Amino acid sequence: MSLTQDIETAQDIPEDVIFPPSDLYSDEPQLESYFHLQQMLLLLKCLDWWWRDRNDFFAAGNLTIYYSPRQRKSEDFRGPDFFIVLGTERKPRKSWVVWHEDGKYPNIIVEILSSTTAATDRGLKKQIYQNTFRTPDYFWFDPDTLEFAGFHLLDGEYQPLEPNPQGLLWSQQLQLYLGIHTRQLRFFTAEGELVPTPEEVAEQEIKRAEQATQQAEQATQQAEQEAQRAERLAAKLRELNIDPDSI
């Protein structure tokens, strides 16, 4: 039976209940700190660039997920710091309303720990993401202590992910690694290469252009030096009454 059918057949919903619209605004509080904001934006920026040619996902940060079986805004909602839903339309949303998104929940969730949220992220939220959301990949990261952990849903329970030799954790859903780079959580390719931000890509292109310019200048200087040596040799030959063109 579908979620819609379950709702239609529910007997405990009063007739005067007004279902909220599908474009509910997010009801999440402000992020804990500047570092939390920067971390969330960094993940969004990197993924948006890496999947710039894809239109089958939705990624967001600090956005409310409404998942009440009775379609009520006042109950059953959570706001992960960062989440990704696969197999959906890539478009802006004010919030994620499960009953208006074909019953889809996030495929990947990342929580950014703080002293006030860490216990909930490791406990209650982990339980909800495991038992209700059934989110396959769950990670948390503390920007202060650099605590980093990841879990994959296996047979209905989260199993800890084992890091590779670089200390990276694999996301089966993303087909990317997650790991710490310069005290920030970043994405890495299957080959272990850092997924860059657009700014880093631009910097790399500028460096390559500068290197190409330097190489061209060096080649020009070498050519000029060779020409000068050839001219000095020709002059010396002429002093000896030898025509350099005849050699």
Q: Are residues 145 and 217 in the same domain?
A: no
Q: Are residues 24 and 65 in the same domain?
A: yes
Q: Are residues 151 and 239 in the same domain?
A: no
Residue finishing a domain among 195, 211, 233:
195
DSSP-derived letter for residue 99 is: G
pLDDT in tens, 22-62: 555 544 445 567 888 999 999 999 999 999 999 999 999 99
Q: Are residues 63 and 147 in the same domain?
A: yes
Q: Are residues 149 and 237 in the same domain?
A: no
Cα-based angle 119, 80, 163 (whole degrees, multiple of 5): 70
What is the pLDDT, as a whole number, of residue 224?
Answer: 73
Q: Does the pTM of the predicted model rise above 0.75?
A: no
Average pLDDT over residues 74-80: 89
Residue 185 to residue 25: CA distance in whole angstroms: 28
What is the pLDDT, as a whole number, of residue 9?
Answer: 41
pLDDT in tens, 205-224: 666 655 655 665 676 677 77
Q: Are residues 237 and 177 in the same domain?
A: no
Residue 232 to residue 234: CA distance in whole angstroms: 5
pLDDT surpassing 60 at residue 5: no
Q: Are residues 165 and 239 in the same domain?
A: no
Spatial contact of 64 and 26, defined as CB atoms under 8 Å apart: yes
Residue 222 to residue 216: CA distance in whole angstroms: 10
Q: Could you tell me which residues are beta bridge partners of residue 223? A: none
What is the pLDDT, as a whole number, of residue 242?
Answer: 77
Show the tokens assigned to 123: 């406990």
Cα-based angle 198, 204, 208 (whole degrees, multiple of 5): 145
Q: Is 209 helix (H, G, I), strand (E, B) or coil?
A: helix
Residue finishing a domain among 180, 195, 210:
195
Q: Are residues 105 and 153 in the same domain?
A: yes
Domain housing 236: 200-246
What is the pLDDT, as a whole number, of residue 8?
Answer: 41
Q: Are residues 10 and 123 in the same domain?
A: yes
Task: Assign residue 64 the CATH number of its domain.
Answer: 3.90.1570.10
- Percent above pLDDT 70 for the chain: 80
Residue 242 to residue 88: CA distance in whole angstroms: 81
Q: Are residues 169 and 237 in the same domain?
A: no
Average pLDDT over residues 219-245: 76
Burial 124-147 (b: 16+ CB within 10 A, else e): ebbebbbeebebbbbbbbbbeeee
- How many domains are there within the chain? 2
Q: Are residues 85 and 166 in the same domain?
A: yes
Q: How far apart are the two ends of the chain, measured CA to CA in Å?
A: 95
Residue 169 to residue 147: CA distance in whole angstroms: 13
Q: Are residues 36 and 120 in the same domain?
A: yes
